[in-house]
Structure 1
Amino acid sequence: MLRYSINVTLDGCCDHNVFPSGAAGQAHLEEMHVHHAATMERADALLFGRVVYEMMEEAWRRPASGEWPEWMDERAIGFAETIDAKPKHVVSTTLGAVDWNAELVRGDLAPAVRALKDQHDEVMTGGLTLPLALAELGLIDSYELVVMPVVAGHGPRLFDGLAQQLDLTLVDRKELSSGAVALTYHPAATAD
């Protein structure tokens, strides 16, 4: 199974810097760390494009000292430890090598991702560019959209450029205390 998970605003923005403001934003951020760590824990492996891989590595890789930065609370550390430990597969034509418990995915995307799905019970992906390509190929089995109570009014939007309509069936809904709602969808043809 390939599961896609992403935070999104009410107007479809997926900029990782857009969160509710003030105290509500801090509560939301803390809750997202807990939620996404639990979601990621279920996955056997992670699948990233280059941009997301580099962004996640910079933010969440355990420092060489072994000590997490002072800014991290226990929720952020829990998320960091979860992502740090997971095997990662990186789709990139520009990176020559990766580390951080990762390997490059080379060749044609569709057969390479099918092979990963055969190799693992559950693979999790995030970001915008790679998931758009995966959706176009019909390779995503589950879509988790964590809808934040914010209208951004700008920024990158979910599935911009999708060639054909994607019909989905709601299979789960979880309201979070921060006001966000985690919605899980499966492709309509395979929803059970």
Structure 2
Amino acid sequence: MRKVIAAINMTIDGVCDHTAGLPDEEIHQHYADLLDSAEIILYGRTTYQLMQYWQTLIKNPSGEKTTDDFAIAIDKIQKIVFSHRLKNTDWDSAKLATKPIEELVRELKQQSGKDILVGSRSLITQLMKLNLIDEYQLCVHPVIAGNGLPLFENVNDRTIFKLTKTKNFINGAITLYYEPTK
């Protein structure tokens, strides 16, 4: 049975905003390795459209090894996009979800293969409420955004987690690895 891993960047004040973090070579390598260790990543429309930026680096590499390695990793992983607005994905390794998230994730978990990543704030919240996330990897950047969308917005139930490990980055970010206690 595959694990569902929610992996996301956030600020100290809990905001998920790709422009608020401090991405550097070490962070890019960390996420390239994570993508290489998984088989599928699930996105909502907004995050998916932000991630399409990386396609430009496949065609025109930046020359920075870890940035280009991340672009290659994100390009090759299978992406499933949950959207009511998109008609196509315009990315060979991406497809639109054809089933409701709960049904699809339960089916994917039962299949053999590498883990399933969830990279969108809205999907993490939905799957959390359905008790379908096996591990949370929260990369907290040493930044206060001051405003933006919090990761656990509209989560009203108390949830307790077990910290299983941490990973420190030179830039002061830290990834906290949590498992929900059932």
Same fold (TM over 0.5): yes
Equivalent residue, structure 1, for 2:143: 150
Equivalent residue, structure 2, for 1:7: 9
Residue type of the partner of 2:42? L
Equivalent residue, structure 2, for 1:43: 38
**CA displacement at 1:30 relative to structure 2:** 2.3
**CA displacement at 1:166 relative to structure 2:** 2.0
Could you tell me whether the CA contact under 8 Å between 1:68 and 1:77 is conserved in 2? no
Provide the C-alpha distance between the structure 2 equivalents of 1:29 and 1:165, rounded to a whole number of angstroms. 34
**CA displacement at 1:48 relative to structure 2:** 0.8
Could you tell me whether the CA contact under 8 Å between 2:32 and 2:69 is conserved in 1? yes
**CA displacement at 1:69 relative to structure 2:** 4.5
Structure 1: gaps spanning 5 or more residues:
20-24
Show the 5 A alignment for 1:135-174. 135-174=128-167
Cα RMSD of the aligned pairs, angstroms, is 1.7
Count of residues in Structure 1 that have an aligned counterpart in Structure 2: 178
**CA displacement at 1:147 relative to structure 2:** 1.0
**CA displacement at 1:31 relative to structure 2:** 2.0
Identity of aligned residues (%): 35
Using the size of structure 2 for normalisation, the TM-score is 0.90
2:117 corresponds to 1:124? yes
**CA displacement at 1:49 relative to structure 2:** 0.9
Higher deviation after alignment, 176-185 or 111-120: 111-120
Equivalent residue, structure 2, for 1:178: 171
Q: 1:92 to 1:67 in 2, by over 3 A?
A: closer
**CA displacement at 1:29 relative to structure 2:** 2.5
Residue type of the partner of 1:115? E
Equivalent residue, structure 2, for 1:78: 69
Correspondence for 2:94 among 90, 102, 111: 102
Structure 2: gaps spanning 5 or more residues:
none
Equivalent residue, structure 2, for 1:133: 126
